Amino acid sequence: MSNSTRCAACKSLRRRCSKDCVLAPYFPPTNPQRFACVHKIFGASNTTKMLEQLPLHLRAVAVDCMSFEASSRVEDPVYGSVRIISQLQEQIIEAQSELVKTKGEIAFHNAQQQQQMQQLQMIHAIAQEGEDQPSWLSSSQQDLFPNINQQQLEDYNYSNTFCGFEF
């Protein structure tokens, strides 16, 4: 990059922006604020060293992350991006607690439903037993009196001679 198109870093540092400037690809002159934050928190020298230790294809992401951390620190000089981590951890604790409570509620309802099902089944079973006739009732009436002479029954006109009752 020539002096007329220096990157934001070299502009801020008031130096010539060389062709192989490490910072140029990530700090375009259109966004001076980005480098200003990173420079304030990490320093140009540290930033350059950190980028030089990374493979080319990871540098853009690294700069984005450093830029985020630097701007978080500028906004919150005491906690920076660590505040976000703390808040997220608190949210996770709350969510986990809520989840445990809700799962307990589900277990409670499941247990109630099971109990109701069992009660219904018992009632049904008892009702079934009441409807079914026992085996000794299912045989025909004539077996009840195996020793009675059928002819004698017909001759006696049963309805007239049995204590006056009509059948």
Partner 1 sequence: MGGSSPCASCKLLRRRCAKDCIFAPYFPSDDPHKFAIVHKVFGASNVSKMLQELPVHQRADAVSSLVYEANARVRDPVYGCVGAISFLQNQVSQLEMQLAVAQAEILCFQMQEPNLPTHQIDQVDKSFLLSNNNFDDNNIPQYLSFASSSNVIQDPLKKESLWT
Q: Which one, 15 or 83, has the nearer CB to partner 1? A: 83
Total H helices, total E strands in the chain: 8, 0
Lookup: tokens for 33: 């604020």
66 binds partner 1 (CB under 8 A): yes
Out of 82, 117, 122, 148, the residue judged to bind partner 1 by CB under 8 A:
82
Out of 61, 122, 127, 153, the residue judged to bind partner 1 by CB under 8 A:
61
DSSP track, 13-39: HT----TT-SSGGGS-TT-HHHHHHHH
56 binds partner 1 (CB under 8 A): no
DSSP track, 96-135: HHHHHHHHHHHHHHHHHHHHHHHHHHHHHHHHHHHHSPPH
79 binds partner 1 (CB under 8 A): yes
- Provide the binding-site residues for partner 1, judged by CB under 8 A: 40-43, 45-46, 50, 53-54, 58, 61-62, 64-66, 68-69, 73, 77-89, 91-96, 98-99, 101-106, 109, 112-113
